Amino acid sequence: MAKPEKTVEQLKMENIISLCKRRGFIFQGSEIYGGLAGTWDYGPLGVTLKNNVKDYWWKKFVTDREDMYGMDAAILMNQNVWKATGHVGGFSDPLSECKKCKKRFRTDQLPDKKKCPDCGGEMGEERQFNMLFKTNVGAIADDTSVSYLRPETAQGMFVNYKNIIDSFHPKLPFGMAQIGKAFRNEIAPRDFTFRSREFEQMEIEYLIKPETWKEIFEHFRTEMLDWIKEIGLKQENVYEHEIPDEDRAFYSKRTIDFEFDFPFGRNELYGLAYRTDYDLSRHSKSSGIDLIYVDEETREKITPHCIEPSLGVDRTVLAILTSAYTEDELGGEKRTYLKFVPKMAPVKIAVFPLLKNKPQLVEKAREVYQNLKKEFGLVEFDDNGNIGKRYRRQDEIGTPYCVTVDFDTLEKDSAVTVRDRDTGKQERIEVSKLTDYLKEKLS
Ligand code: GAP
């Protein structure tokens, strides 16, 4: 039987994955050994894009606020943490195995739960598969040395609640925030980095008095929508999905998923949940340490409730890449470019000497490049091939501005040509005014 034709969206995804590899954004993990499913390595441009995401999140949600306490907790935690939260007993997805080809699938993602999607064979009984990565800490591998790679960053904050209270004495409401790796042994990693086994999260555990939950939930809902706009995601591709009672975790009183139209379909990008006092109460009970809050004025004792905005770093990077990916025609030529908002673009500016074999041009271009580098971080110098090719190369990695040093720069006007990625428009700008000009353009 002939294979069905690929859809436009499938082809777009293939082009994005190929661009990511070709231009050094994202590579398959352990590629030279045949790869390791569900793991991805970020190359020089990918790590810079990722850092831009993380730095901006940290600025917006931690340093620009007065009510946030940044954290970086250990990935390995005492196994009792995960027993208390219910992860050891219940952090699982439904799995079933094909009786014929022996392949395993996540049952809730099968179009027909009884039939293998690969060979058409009969599927076996469904069972629960725990997604925690288990390991042993220390030289003796027994039950007491068991630990797990954390499946979320959240618990690293809850178990430090008392440390934050004792050292900073914050008043409610306040938040703990952290960025870090999380690990889940997903049954079916898929769709490039979308569902990985190792990924990063940016999470806030915002502690509140229970009666204030509705207004604080609304505050973070708005903040997350603003964030989505600010990182350049297309608004028409973002949806808020109110999770119905029957699908929510039993401890959550309200959860919204922010979904995004990825080329492979609409899928969860972020979550915002009201987790009640579940986590602190469980840790209090399990550790025997009182995790309460004493109101300084009323002396009232409460266990704070929690609102949790939870964002995946890798899904953010993927959404930015798929949103920015554009094919169009410029000056009668087809091109592919990444239309990043300036603050997310890994390379902000590229500097070219018009010709490579004219030492005066190269020297001047290097001087301009060094000056811009001091101000803007990742700036590229490129003297390879003709100017048109250099523009295409920079377009493909989403560089917002290209600066060309030519003979007029040296002999006539001490100015350079600045070319805009999206419109291709060029402007002549004096070298002495270049930094301020680009600062304004990139802000
Ligand atoms: N602390 C709550 C929590 O972890 P979650 O919905 O399981 O909630 C939060 O995860 C976010 O982490 C998701 O919205 C997504 O952005 C990201 N995420 C979860 N699983 C992932 C995976 N396997 N690969 C990549 N990102 C993932």
- What is the whole-number distance in angstroms between the Cα of residue 118 and the centre of ligand 1? 27
pLDDT at 3 over 90: no
pLDDT score recorded for residue 235:
87
- What is the whole-number distance in angstroms between the Cα of residue 284 and the centre of ligand 1? 25
**What average pLDDT does range 19-28 have in this prediction?**
97
pLDDT at 359 over 80: yes
Among 239, 268, 272, 275, which is best to mutate for testing ligand 1, by the most ligand atoms less than 8 A from CB? 268
The structural domains of the chain, ordered by start, are 23-81+149-321 (3.30.930.10), 347-442 (3.40.50.800)
**312 C-beta closer than 6 A to ligand 1:** yes
pLDDT for 408-431, tens place per residue?
Answer: 999 999 999 999 999 999 999 999
State percent of the chain over pLDDT 90.
91
- What is the whole-number distance in angstroms between the Cα of residue 104 and the centre of ligand 1? 22
**What average pLDDT does range 246-271 have in this prediction?**
95
pLDDT for 199-217, tens place per residue?
Answer: 999 999 999 999 999 999 9
Ligand 1 atom closest to Cα of residue 271: 14
- What is the whole-number distance in angstroms between the Cα of residue 311 and the centre of ligand 1? 7
Ligand 1 atom closest to Cα of residue 152: 4
pLDDT at 5 over 90: no
Ligand 1 atom closest to Cα of residue 201: 12
pLDDT at 290 over 80: yes
- pLDDT class of 1 with cuts at 50, 70, 90: low
Q: What is the 3-state secondary structure (H, E, C) of the chain?
A: CCCCCCCHHHHHHHHHHHHHHHCCCEEECCHHHCCCCCCEEECHHHHHHHHHHHHHHHHHHHHCCCCEEEECCCCEEEHHHHHHHCHHHHCEEEEEEECCCCCEEEHHHCCCCCECCCCCCEECCCEEEECCEEEECCCCCCHHHEEEECCCCHHHHHCCHHHHHHHHCCCCCEEEEEEEEEECCCCCCECCCCECCEEEEEEEEEEECHHHHHHHHHHHHHHHHHHHHHCCCCHHHEEEEECCHHHCCCCCCEEEEEEEEECCEEEEEEEEEEEECHHHHHHHHHHCCCCCEECCCCCCEECCEEEEEEEEHHHHHHHHHHHHEEEEEECCEEEEEECCCCCCCCCCEEEEECCCCCHHHHHHHHHHHHHHHHHHCCEEECCCCCHHHHHHHHHHCCCCEEEEECHHHHHHHCEEEEEECCCCCEEEEEHHHHHHHHHHHHC
pLDDT score recorded for residue 109:
86
- pLDDT class of 333 with cuts at 50, 70, 90: confident
**201 C-beta closer than 6 A to ligand 1:** yes
Among 185, 196, 201, which is best to mutate for testing ligand 1, by the most ligand atoms less than 8 A from CB? 201
Ligand 1 atom closest to Cα of residue 195: 24
pLDDT score recorded for residue 286:
97
- What is the whole-number distance in angstroms between the Cα of residue 23 and the centre of ligand 1? 27
pLDDT score recorded for residue 430:
97
**382 C-beta closer than 6 A to ligand 1:** no
Ligand 1 atom closest to Cα of residue 257: 14
Among 315, 317, 318, which is best to mutate for testing ligand 1, by the most ligand atoms less than 8 A from CB? 315
pLDDT at 361 over 70: yes
pLDDT score recorded for residue 201:
98
**158 C-beta closer than 6 A to ligand 1:** no
Strongest mean pLDDT among 87-91, 280-284, 331-335: 280-284
pLDDT score recorded for residue 317:
98
pLDDT for 140-179, tens place per residue?
Answer: 999 999 999 999 999 999 999 999 999 999 999 999 999 9
Q: Does residue 367 or residue 251 have the better pLDDT?
A: 367
Give the residue whose CA is nearest to atom 20 of ligand 1: 195
- pLDDT class of 90 with cuts at 50, 70, 90: confident
Give the residue whose CA is nearest to atom 21 of ligand 1: 195
* Mean pLDDT, all residues of the chain: 95
**184 C-beta closer than 6 A to ligand 1:** yes
pLDDT at 249 over 90: no
